[in-house]
Amino acid sequence: MNKKKIIVIHIVTFVLLSLLLLFASEPLLNKFAAGIHNVGMWIDLMIFGTIGILTLTTISCLIFLKQKKIIGLIVILVNSFWTWFSLDLLYKYHFTEFHPTFYIPNWILIMNSIFATIGIVIGLKLIREKINIKTALLTDFTLILIGLTIQQI
């Protein structure tokens, strides 16, 4: 399949999924936030849902176009943000007057930082073409899923 066809298919997929989100958002809010949903929640669902759909279709398009360097850069950016978030929260817990309602345990923040650092290494290996796209994304997705799962404990 040529590049133009891949790009057109992904643009059409983005539009269709965005329309599906538009028509399904109100029933979703009625199902999962019955009695408490409002216009603000609907707008947030539309904004973040559309951003999520755009991100996933863009990554899918890059995978089909075999753009290892761009995908590696995205993996590095996501994991860098995850590392920053975990270490910043750990810093705030111990060195500032930050008192949230819910604390994430220190061991989870440290574990997430380790997973994110491994993800950064995976992104670098993908850029240097020492690992293939499928292995890199599956490994990074698994690390993120494990990190999010242990955070829910």
Q: What is the mean pLDDT of residues 67-81?
A: 91
Which pLDDT tens digit goes with each residue over 94-115?
A: 999 988 888 889 999 999 999 9
| Mean pLDDT, all residues of the chain | 91
DSSP the chain: --HHHHHHHHHHHHHHHHHHHHHHHHHHHHHHSTTT--HHHHHHHHHHHHHHHHHHHHHHHHHHTT-HHHHHHHHHHHHHHHHHHHHHHHHHHHHS----SSPPPHHHHHHHHHHHHHHHHHHHHHHTTSS-HHHHHHHHHHHHHHHHHHHT-
The pLDDT of residue 131 is 92
For residue 31, pLDDT beyond 90: no
Global model pTM greater than 0.85: no
The pLDDT of residue 83 is 95
